[in-house]
Amino acid sequence: MDLRNTPVTAVTGVGEKRAEELEQLGIRTVEDLLTYFPYRYDDYRLVDLTSAEHEERVTVRGKLLTIPSIRWYGGKKSRISAKLDVDGLAVQVVWFNQAYLKSKLQIGQSLMVSGKWDRHRLQITADRTFFSSAEQEKQAGRLMPVYSISGGIKVAWLRKTIHQAFLQFGRHIEEVLPTEIREQYRLMDRAQAMYRLHFPRSREEGSRARRRMAYEELFLYELKLLHWRRQTRERVKGIAHEFDTGQVKQLIEGLPFSLTGAQQRVVREILDDMRSPEQMHRLLQGDVGSGKTVIAAIALYANYLSGCQGALMVPTEILAEQHLQSLRKILEPHGVRLALLTGSLTTKERREVLSELQMGLADVVVGTHALIQEPVMFHRLGLVITDEQHRFGVKQRARFREKGEAPDVLHMTATPIPRTLAITVYGDMDVSVIDEMPAGRQPVDTYWVKSDVWPRVVQFIAKECRNHHQAYVICPLIDESEKLDLQNAQAVYEELTQSLAPVRVGLLHGKMSPAEKEEVMRRFAANDIQVLVSTTVVEVGVNVPNATVMVVYDADRFGLAQLHQLRGRVGRGGGAATCILVADPKTETGVERMRIMTETTDGFEIAQRDLELRGPGDFFGVKQSGLPDFRVADVVEDAKILEIARTDAIRLITSSDFWQRKEWSPLHRYLRSLDEEGQVNFD
């Protein structure tokens, strides 16, 4: 019997109407019901009040000492109160809006009540009351599961129904984890873990059950990912690039600097991938300024030497132009012909570029979305690189991959992704990390100041401008209060224009057209504008080495990752640079964020702490994060389990007899059922 195919109506007490309501909760099958786990438990175990915490839920038993009094107020609202003798302690018990209890409560009666404990007033606000000793026995000492519900479903009904489902179908729950793994980590068996996650006899038992289910979930997820990846690799024929390593070395030796150790390692990893007949699918992570562009240039050169064309895709036109310039400097002396393809080319220019690409007259094309939106035909596309890939949707990435035979793909990102997220969200890719900055790069001095010292911040900007440097002033723009924020930015812009004159100040905001934005950005890059006030972080992804000051206004309204990105915009010229965070945070996390920023400039550390502060869901911001929806596991809390599960999954699936081992047949069946579903979707 396969519980995944058994409709939930098979459970006694679940009719058509209930089934519809359960469907609202995502429950269609018996398996869905059995794995609809509680998000917390109500604790009905008797406690000793002398050691209970203030505001904690407590359950106590005692005798009523006084005649309960009832008070009515506001028409329908009521409050009953009485004294209860709990182990010699006279506790005030209060029942709100439970007037029906008045007639049941009698002096001298034995009661068990559960509710919130007020330690200072020796008072319990009761929400559950148990009268008969049978009822008391049944509840006392239990942890009651609490489920998220909606519509007509009630928690008590759900509890009962899940219990019923276990009675009917518990023995059909099949173990999926190999015995050796279960024994190695002393994991509960599946049926027991599922049952005890709903109905634990102790906190400890509940957490052991949770651990088992979290392991299973992460293990199966990793297995699925690896299986899918192996299959695509077998199906897709990649290009085995052939190039002269000596020539690549020459290019590297001709650079005005020598590569950092991390860059050398990453180059090796990428070139090895390119030589291999498998399609490369690699994520390159490196903090802002760690030197990813030169890596792209080297890969594009090797690709050129093997007779292929390459494409570099970036999010904005100005970035495309900057990258084109940097690549030209490195590649043109070696005979590589470059082209630019953006949305603002004239029809004639575009047609020309397109035909150059089709005929193989251009070797490398740098472009924006235009590269994937148009019917670009390549003579022979061998390598695709995207920069700041998180700004391209997952679908767009896939579409780009389809062009050409099966070009190698390299995604570059300056957003450090904590490892636990990297191996879940990007588990289908290999990951390279540049974890070292070029020598001589000074960390940006970072200060957190309160808004009342703003005049001094302005003085500081003025001083830097006198020294011929440039500055960014970022004002947050957050949707709900867009208007207000715009006024803010406008006001800051006007104030600075006045107080900094004759220094030229520019304003960049989200309401401007792309062309207007590019124009302002261009003027800033050309030092035609010295101070740039911007409401948006998107457009500042540009290299202006002369900018040495980054001021972020209301900095507590930005996430850590964003602040780190912003800070990375300055200090790119090699000299000293300063980041000033102006903020009066009102929350603990706000203060914590400011503190973290002043404590470290390590992008990975910041990302990890951001993840801990915000949780995985918010880390990427949008839903397109690709983060799987785990039922039990939590990629932050269960990071260790995830690592272990991944290692185990790799070991199993790469063992030569994986498909022969009889005891692994539940896993085989699981993977085959995924194959039947067709394309496994991870997005």
Query: Judged by CB, which is closer to ligand ADP: 379, or 441?
Result: 441
> Which of residues 68, 238, 289, 416 is near ligand ADP by CB under 6 A?
289
Residue bearing tokens 């974890």: 435
CA angle 450/456/457 to nearest 5° reads 70
Segment near ligand ADP (CB under 6 A); pick from 85-93, 188-196, 258-266, 640-648: 258-266
Using H for helix, E for strand and C for coil, what is the string for 110-178?
EEEEEEEEECCCCEEEEEEEECCHHHHHHHCCCEEEECCCCCCCCHHHHHHHHHHHHHHHHHHCCCCCC
Q: What is the DSSP string of 226-242?
A: HHHHHHHHHHS------
Q: How far is the CB of 541 from ligand ADP (least distance, A)?
A: 9
* Residue from 230, 257, 373, 654 binding ligand ADP (CB under 6 A): 257
Question: For residues 259 and 653, which CB has a smaller minimum distance to ligand ADP in the complex?
Answer: 259
Strands annotated E in 425-557: 430-434, 445-449, 470-474, 505-508, 531-534, 547-553
Least distance in angstroms from the C-beta of 415 to ligand ADP: 11
- Quote the least distance from Cβ 565 to ligand ADP, whole Å: 10
User: Could you tell me the smallest distance in angstroms from the CB atom of residue 255 to ligand ADP?
Assistant: 8
Contact letters (x/-) for ligand ADP, 355-384, by CB under 6 A? ------------------------------
Using CB under 6 A, which of 35, 260, 415, 548 touches ligand ADP? 260
Structure-derived torsion over alpha carbons of residues 292, 294, 295, 296, reported in degrees to the nearest 10: 90
Stretch that binds ligand ADP, among 112-120, 284-292, 640-648, 668-676 (CB under 6 A): 284-292
Tell me if 385 sits within 8 A of 296, measured CB to CB.
yes
Q: How far is the CB of 602 from ligand ADP (least distance, A)?
A: 15
In whole angstroms, give the CA distance from residue 241 to residue 271. Answer: 9
Cα separation, 426 vs 495, in Å, equals 45
Q: Which is nearer to ligand ADP, 293 or 342 (CB)?
A: 293
Report CA-CA distances (Å) from 652 to 128, 630, 640, 674: 50, 22, 18, 18
- Which CB sits closer to ligand ADP, 118 or 436? 436
Kindly determine how many residues on this chain lie close enough to bind ligand ADP according to the rule CB under 6 A: 16
Q: Which helix (H) or strand (E) holds 293?
A: helix 293-305
Buried b (16+ CB within 10 A) or exposed e, 396-424: bbeebbebbebbbbbbbbbbbbbbbbbbb
Contacting ligand ADP (CB under 6 A), which of 6, 29, 279, 290?
A: 290
The CB-of-292 to ligand ADP minimum distance in angstroms stands at 3
Contact string 558-577 vs ligand ADP (x = CB under 6 A): --------------x-----
- Closest separation between CB of residue 36 and ligand ADP, Å? 45
The one among 360, 438, 510, 590 contacting ligand ADP by CB under 6 A: 438
CB of 605 to ligand ADP, least distance (A): 18
For residue 528, the minimal CB distance to ligand ADP (Å) is 21
286 touches ligand ADP (CB under 6 A): yes
Q: Pick out residues in 300-329 that bind ligand ADP (CB under 6 A).
A: none
Decide: helix, strand or coil at residue 377.
Answer: coil
Nearest to 208 by CA among 221, 194, 218: 194
Beta carbon nearer to ligand ADP, 289 or 416: 289
Cβ closer to ligand ADP: 322 or 446? 322
Name the segment binding ligand ADP (CB under 6 A); options: 6-14, 286-294, 592-600, 642-650.
286-294
Could you tell me the smallest distance in angstroms from the CB atom of residue 6 to ligand ADP? Answer: 53
DSSP state of 672: H
State which of positions 216-255 bind ligand ADP (CB under 6 A): none
Pairing of strands 505-508, 364-367: unpaired
Residue nearest to ligand ADP (CB): 291
Q: How far is the CB of 323 from ligand ADP (least distance, A)?
A: 9
Q: CA triplet 76, 80, 81: central angle to 5 degrees?
A: 155
- Specify the 3-state DSSP secondary structure of 329: helix
Instruction: Give the C-alpha distances (Å, rounded to integers) separating 414 from 201, 289, 386, 620.
Output: 47, 9, 12, 13
Q: Please tell me the number of Cα atoms within 13 Å of 219 on its side-chain side.
A: 22
Instruction: Find, among 386, 421, 391, the residue nearest to 284 by Cα.
Output: 386
414 binds ligand ADP (CB under 6 A): yes
Candidate residues 291, 310, 506, 603; the one interacting with ligand ADP per rule CB under 6 A: 291
Comparison of 35 and 293: residue with beta carbon closer to ligand ADP: 293
- Of 258 and 654, which CB lies nearer to ligand ADP in the complex structure? 258
Q: Which of 35, 114, 263, 601 binds ligand ADP (CB under 6 A)?
A: 263
Q: Are 574 and 441 in contact (CB under 8 A)?
A: yes
Q: Is 623 helix (H, G, I), strand (E, B) or coil?
A: helix
Shortest separation between residue 259's beta carbon and ligand ADP, angstroms: 5
Q: By three-state DSSP, how is residue 598 classified? A: helix
Selection from 47, 61, 180 nearest residue 119 by Cα? 47
Residue from 288, 313, 531, 641 touching ligand ADP (CB under 6 A): that is 288
Q: How many other C-beta atoms can be found within 10 angstroms of the C-beta atom of residue 249?
A: 10
| Contact with ligand ADP (CB under 6 A) among 29, 161, 293, 565 | 293
Rounded least distance, CB 230 to ligand ADP, Å:
31
Question: Beta strands 531-534 and 505-508: pairing type?
Answer: parallel
Binding region for ligand ADP (CB under 6 A): 257, 259-260, 263, 286, 288-294, 414, 438, 543, 572
